[in-house]
Structure 1
């Protein structure tokens, strides 16, 4: 039986279907932080190798991170340091995308647009959970999760279509995250949001 998360930390992870599927296999028995730290280290090494010129190796960083961090997605994240899991995942995802973009001469505007869409989603997610305005379950699937987005960029690099991959993914994510956020906040009862705001200020 998979333990029920008793913390917002699991939602902050922003796991995609692949990561959540791997979490189901271990039924919440794997602590999230130790394998994630190993994944961050291995990803850093692979990115350094990629900067040195071995791009074909570096693009496998998301797969390595997924294999190490994915199984921990079903853990309740109730350990003293488990709150570090989402920030570590953010660093891995942002660093990988930026490294792929700059090392393959993607225009900085495109890199900024893609990272901006992801950062907007993460900020929106944090603020929603603070206000008790929860996103729909399908958003984490359509948003691909940290794992899906990284793999898409890695595949774009492998097939030699990096700029196009950045452009299409940025356009897609801004469409999904922007539209869903706008419609969600417009539909949220104003009194409920104001009450939650007052509660966070006390």
Structure 2
């Protein structure tokens, strides 16, 4: 009797392991780390606990803002909140973000980023509407990322690098504030990020819609004439 070798069954992924992988990927995407974090991640070892470090960074930014140290013409002092964010939050990037409260890291990080933008902008007399536009653009990018990942659609990795990440954006703003050109830096970021995020988001959703259309058309063609008539009659009755 001749027996034919059977192909080995594909290994079934562990559901818990898959859940952990997806959770880590989502939270890392929500962090919106950029090129500076990508450059330093491999050299930071295990990293700092994400939630405590981010909370301390947020508290440091609040304390610096309340101290009255920031102001137009104070030079390098304007870099203080940015340095606090970079020193405390960048080392949290290597962690897997699987802790019980690690889901708090993205909102804490985004809140600290926005607060730093506001403090620097007000201290440097940057037009408030321009600060609002920058916060809106970054907020839109965050919302788009969250919505996409919840639909199982992941933004391309290059988007986060091209979007500069929270750390590079803050570094540019801090340097601009220290040099007295923050308004120009904010305006440039608004223009660049606004175009980047809007064009990438729209083209991605349009491409996804085009990919879904043939499948929908195929489903419609598979319906029998009787089913199509019943569906049309039901819709007419509802109308």
TM range (shorter): 0.7 to 0.9
Q: Would you say the 8 A contact 1:40–1:92 is kept in 2?
A: yes
Q: Spell out the pairing of 1:153-192 with structure 2 (5 A cutoff).
A: 153-188=173-208, 189-190=211-212
What displacement does 1:102 show?
2.0
2:69–2:77 contact (8 Å) kept in structure 1: no
Deviations 1:10-41 (A, max 9, x none): 11111112123333223445321122222112
Check the 8 A contact 1:27/1:75 in 2, yes or no.
Answer: no
1:102-154 deviations in Å (ceiling 9; x for gaps): 22222222111111110110000000101111111111111011111111111
Q: Are 1:127 and 2:133 counterparts?
A: no
Task: Tell me which residue corresponds to 1:81.
Answer: 101
- Equivalences, count: 190
Q: Moved runs in structure 1, 4+ residues, more than 6 A?
A: none
1:40-85 C-alpha deviation (Å, 9 max, x unpaired): 1222222223466456424221222112111211211000000111
TM-score of the two chains, using structure 1 as the length reference: 0.85
Tell me how far 1:162 sits from its aligned partner: 1.4
Higher Rg: 2
1:99, CA displacement in angstroms? 1.5
The aligned counterpart of 1:18 is 36
TM-score (norm 2): 0.73
Provide the C-alpha distance between the structure 2 equivalents of 1:61 and 1:148, rounded to a whole number of angstroms.
Answer: 13
Matches within 5 A, 1:1-202: 5-7=21-23, 8-50=26-68, 53=71, 56-188=76-208, 189-190=211-212
Contact 2:70/2:78, CA 8 A, preserved across alignment: no
RMSD of aligned Cα (Å): 2.2
Residues 177, 10 of structure 1: alpha-carbon distance in 2 compared, 3 angstrom cutoff: same
